[in-house]
């Protein structure tokens, strides 16, 4: 079992799930579908990833994801 940090955001009618460490992303019409699709996409990525990419994915366990307001 591997812990992966996934950020989910809404883009129009779609929910997008992305792992910022590996860049693996997927989408769905609901959060649940986006996560299900992400799991499939990540599995395919992991099967074909180089060893160094897999090591980076394992070491990249998330600490926190936050939404902050910025004055621009």
pLDDT digit string, tens, across residues 8-63: 999 999 999 999 889 999 999 999 999 999 999 999 999 999 999 998 888 866 66
pTM to 2 decimal places:
0.82
Count of the separate structural domains present in the chain: 1
Q: How high is the pLDDT of residue 72? A: 87
Q: How high is the pLDDT of residue 62? A: 66
Is-contact 17 34, C-beta < 8 A? yes
**Could you tell me if residue 36 is inside a domain?**
yes
Rounded CA separation 57/12 (Å): 29
CATH number of the CATH domain containing 27: 3.30.160
For residue 12, give its domain range. Answer: 7-59
Rounded CA separation 29/4 (Å): 21
Whole-Å CA distances, 56 to 10, 32, 41, 68 = 27, 26, 17, 26
Q: How high is the pLDDT of residue 64? A: 67
């Amino acid at each position: 079992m591997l812990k992966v940090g996934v950020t989910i955001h809404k883009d129009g009618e779609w929910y997008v799930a992305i792992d910022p460490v590996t860049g693996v992303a997927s989408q769905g019409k609901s959060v649940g579908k986006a996560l299900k699709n992400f799991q499939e996409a990540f599995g395919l990525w992991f099967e074909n990833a180089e060893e160094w990419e897999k090591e980076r994915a394992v070491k990249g366990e998330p600490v926190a994801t936050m939404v902050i307001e910025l004055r621009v």
